[in-house]
Structure 1
Amino acid sequence: MPSLRVHRASDEYAREIAGRISRFLLLTLGSVIMLAGLVLAPLPGHIGLPLLVVGLMIVLRNSFRAKRQFVRMQRAHPKMVFPIRRLMRREPEIVLVFWQQYLRVERLVLPKRIRFAINARRYLKRRFRPREA
């Protein structure tokens, strides 16, 4: 019977080592994906943000320290982190997040009289308003 206990202990140790190695590899993969997203973010085509979110998801699921830091960042800057959280849900609201971020950028960059998105939304809302019977 003593050999059976030794065998179980070595199996648990091997599982723990394999878990640590796989967690380290997933953290490395997530970091590489996030780095690629950062590089591609300023380029046209909008592939950088989804890559950043996927990399962040991989890192957050495999690192307790990263989760703690993310929660701290969320409490300190909720408006910045909220779109990322919305994209990390099971069924992300991609179009709504894109629209909200576009409106924020438009508000920061363009003067009020030439903002396209707000005026277009108001026009479409009036035009396609459901008619009352």
Structure 2
Amino acid sequence: MPSMRALRASDELARELVARLVRVGLASLGVLIVLAGIAVAPLPGPGGLPVIVVGLMLLLRNSFKARRTFVRFQHAHPKMVFPIRRLLRREPEILLVSWQQVLRIERLIVPRKLRFAIKTRRRFRRR
């Protein structure tokens, strides 16, 4: 009959194996959610970004390699990753990030004379 020490070791090994399987499963689910968010992103509305953020949350919390890759990408492209990092916080600033993205997209696409969001922001600041 096995000793108590051997039973504890086998229980610990089983728990570690289950924990690793759960971590791999959650990381895989995170990847699938990120891919779904990318697929939804071209549709009108902000549907893709929140889905991508949820997938990244799962992926970054359960994969050390993905976390390292994300940190490297953040150091290489801080302006692109900053809105995502703000959404990954415990209390995300969803409205502020959305407004900042609207201003950035407007600056890229709309001619200076027709920019609506900047004029609206200036009107509300005066009040």
Partner of 1:31: 31
Identity of aligned residues (%): 64
Amino acid aligned to 2:112: K
Runs of 5+ in structure 1 lacking a partner?
129-133
Structure 1 position 32, deviation (Å): 1.0
Partner of 1:17: 17
Provide TM-score, normalisation by structure 1.
0.91
Structure 1 position 94, deviation (Å): 0.4
The Cα offsets for residues 40-92 of structure 1, whole Å up to 9 and x where unpaired, read as 11101312110100000100001110111111011000000000000011110
Structure-2 separation of matches of 1:88 and 1:5: 42
- Asked if residue 69 in structure 1 is aligned to residue 44 in structure 2, the reply is no
Question: How many correspondences in the alignment?
Answer: 127
Structure 1 position 123, deviation (Å): 1.9
Partner of 1:96: 96
Correspondence 1:113-124 to 2 at 5 A: 113-124=113-124
Structure-2 separation of matches of 1:107 and 1:45: 18
Structure 1 position 33, deviation (Å): 0.8
Runs of 5+ in structure 2 lacking a partner?
none
Structure-2 separation of matches of 1:75 and 1:52: 20
Amino acid aligned to 1:107: R
Moved over 6 A (4+): none
Provide TM-score, normalisation by structure 2.
0.96
- Asked if residue 110 in structure 1 is aligned to residue 123 in structure 2, the reply is no
Structure-2 separation of matches of 1:11 and 1:83: 43
